[in-house]
Amino acid sequence: MALVVQKYGGSSLENADRIKRVAERIVETRKAGNDVVVVCSAMGDTTDNLLDLAQQVSPIPPAREMDMLLTAGERISNALVAMAIHNLGAEARSFTGSQAGVITDAAHGKAKIIDVTPGRIRQALDDGAIALVMGFQGVSQDTKEITTLGRGGSDTTAVALAAGLRADVCEIYTDVDGIYTADPRIVPNASALKTISYEEMLEMAASGAKVLHLRSVEYARANNIPLRVRSSYTTDPGTLVTGFMEDIPMEEAILTGVAHDRGEAKITVAGVDDTPGISGQIFRVVADAEINIDMVVQNVSHIGTGKTDITFTLPKSDGQTAMEALNRAQPQIGFEKLLYDDHIGKVSLVGAGMRSHPGVTATFCESIAGAGVNIELISTSEIRISALVRDVDLDKAVAALHDAFELGSDKVAEVHAGTGR
C-alpha cells in the first residue's frame, strides 16, 4: 500500500462534471489500495473572478485581505471534490491549509512554507478517509494569519505535504499529458518524456516550460519526492520527474528538450564607464526594486572611449519598475542611454547529455542560423544553452533546434561532433 499525493489544477476542476471525473480518479486510486491525499486548486477562473472583484473595490488591496479573499477559491473546489467523492461511496474530508498544518512565514501573497505538521491529515488517513487539502494556502507561524503561497502555490502545497507525509509519489494532474521535448503547438512531432531528472526539469521550468513551477520542483528535489506530471483527461502515465543528474550514467545522459519563453524583456544600459564595480551598481539598483534578472552580457569596451554597455533580461512585468529605478539612479551610475526592448524571445536547449557530448553549442548556433534567425545574446549553464532572438523568430528557432537534436522521435538525440562547447 502506497501513500499517493495527487494535485489537480484549476483546468481539471472547471465545472461540476470535471469535478465528478476527478473524484472518480481519486476513488479508483483509493480502491487500488493506496492512501490518498489530494490537493485541489481553485476551479477554472474563480481566482480571476475574485481578483476582478478586489480590483472593483480597491485599486491596491491590502495583501492580508487579498489572501483571505483568494483562499475562498480553494475552499470551494476542495469541498465540492469531497462531496463528489462521498457520492461515490468513499469517505473524504477537506482541510484548510491551516488545518492541514501548512505553516508559512508571514509574507502575504508570497509566503514560504517553513514547516508541515499534517497531524489531522494522518488521522484522516488512519480513519480510512481520503484527505483533501486546500492548495496555495497556509497559516503564518507566529501571527496565525491566513497566507497564500503565490505562483505555483498548489503544486508546492502538494510536494510539501508529500514530503511531510513521506509519500511514495506526488502526482501533478494538469491539462497536458507530461513534459514535452518542446511545445507541441510549435513542434507537432514533439514527444512526451518518460522520465526527467530534477535538475533538467528545473532548467526546463526556468527556461519557460510552464507545466511545473520552479519552486515545487526545487522542493521535490530537496526532499527527493518523485513527481509524476500527467493529464486528468487520460490514463497516460505522463512524465516522472525523479533522480539526480549526478546519478545518470554518462552514456545514458541525453538532451531533454527545447523550452521557450516569451515573458522576458531586455534592458541595455548604454555608455557607462568601463570601471570596476559599475555592473554591481546597476544590478544593486535592480535588486533593490525586488526584480530578478535572468541573462546578463557586458560588452567589451568601446575602443578609445573607456565606455561600455551592459545588457540584461528580466520579466516583462517588471520592465517598467526597473526602467524607473535605473532612471532615478542615472546621476550615480552615469550612463548615457537606457534602452528597453520587449520584442524578444528566449529559446533554451536542456539536457544532462550536454556535459558528455562535445559540440552541442556549435550545433545549437548552426541550427538557429540555418533557420535564418539571428542570436542576440547567449548564456549557458552546465546542462542548458539559452539564446535571445527576435520574438517573431522564436517559433522558427524552437523548431530548428528540436529538429537538429532529433528530439522528436523516441531515439536518443545524436549530437554532432564538433570542437567542444
CB nearer a second copy, residue 66 or residue 170:
66
CB nearer a second copy, residue 81 or residue 322:
81
Considering only residues 3, 11, 45, 79, which one is a binding residue for a second copy as defined by CB under 8 A? 79
Distance CA 43, CA 13 (A): 5
Distance CA 115, CA 136 (A): 14
Q: Is residue 54 involved in binding a second copy (CB under 8 A)?
A: yes
Considering only residues 90, 92, 116, 360, which one is a binding residue for a second copy as defined by CB under 8 A? 92
Is 219 one of the annotated binding-site residues?
no
Kind plus residue range of the DSSP H or E element containing 95: strand 92-95
CB nearer a second copy, residue 54 or residue 412:
54
With contact defined as beta carbons under 8 Å apart, do 30 and 82 qualify?
Answer: no
Estimate the crossing angle of helix 198-206 against helix 214-223, to 10 degrees.
160
The piece of 77-85, 195-203, 389-397, 413-421 that touches a second copy (CB under 8 A) is 77-85
- Across-strand partners of 227? 170, 241
Which residues, 96 to 135, sit near a second copy by CB under 8 A? 96, 99
Phi, psi for residue 353 in degrees, rounded to 5: -65, -20
Is 20 one of the annotated binding-site residues?
no
CB nearer a second copy, residue 79 or residue 362:
79
Is 419 one of the annotated binding-site residues?
no
For 175-331, where are the E strands, in sequence order? Answer: 195-196, 227-231, 239-241, 257-261, 264-273, 296-298, 307-315
Distance CA 54, CA 60 (A): 9
Is 340 one of the annotated binding-site residues?
no
Q: Is residue 141 involved in binding a second copy (CB under 8 A)?
A: no
Considering only residues 65, 105, 403, 406, which one is a binding residue for a second copy as defined by CB under 8 A? 65
Considering only residues 84, 149, 159, 398, which one is a binding residue for a second copy as defined by CB under 8 A? 84
Q: Is residue 163 involved in binding a second copy (CB under 8 A)?
A: no
Is 10 one of the annotated binding-site residues?
yes
Distance in Å, CB of 127 to a second copy, minimum: 12
CB nearer a second copy, residue 60 or residue 303:
60
Q: Is residue 291 involved in binding a second copy (CB under 8 A)?
A: no
Considering only residues 3, 11, 14, 20, which one is a binding residue for a second copy as defined by CB under 8 A? 20
- Within 8 A by CB and 6+ apart from 252, the residues are none
**Within 10 A of 109 (CB to CB), how many other CB atoms are there?**
15
Residue recorded with cell 552541442: 360
Distance in Å, CB of 103 to a second copy, minimum: 16
The piece of 61-69, 153-161, 352-360, 411-419 that touches a second copy (CB under 8 A) is 61-69
With contact defined as beta carbons under 8 Å apart, do 258 and 348 qualify?
Answer: yes
What is the sign of the dihedral through the CA atoms of 27, 240, 220 and 104? negative
Distance in Å, CB of 317 to a second copy, minimum: 22
Estimate the crossing angle of helix 394-404 against helix 360-370, to 10 degrees.
130
Q: Is residue 80 involved in binding a second copy (CB under 8 A)?
A: yes
Is 24 one of the annotated binding-site residues?
no
| CA dihedral of residues 10, 14, 18, 19 (deg, nearest 10) | 70
Q: Is residue 57 involved in binding a second copy (CB under 8 A)?
A: yes
Q: Is residue 50 involved in binding a second copy (CB under 8 A)?
A: yes
Q: The C-alpha cell of 369 is what?
A: 542560423
Q: The C-alpha cell of 229 is what?
A: 506530471
With contact defined as beta carbons under 8 Å apart, do 383 and 196 qualify?
Answer: no
With contact defined as beta carbons under 8 Å apart, do 241 and 221 qualify?
Answer: no
Distance CA 250, CA 235 (A): 32
Distance CA 150, CA 96 (A): 16
CB nearer a second copy, residue 30 or residue 402:
30
Considering only residues 12, 29, 41, 78, which one is a binding residue for a second copy as defined by CB under 8 A? 78
Q: Is residue 69 involved in binding a second copy (CB under 8 A)?
A: yes
Output the known binding site for substrate.
47, 74
Binding interface with a second copy (CB under 8 A): 16, 19-20, 23, 50, 53-54, 56-62, 64-66, 68-69, 71-73, 75-76, 78-84, 86-87, 92-94, 96, 99, 144, 146
- Give the annotated binding-site residues: 7-10, 47, 74, 174-175, 180, 185, 210-211
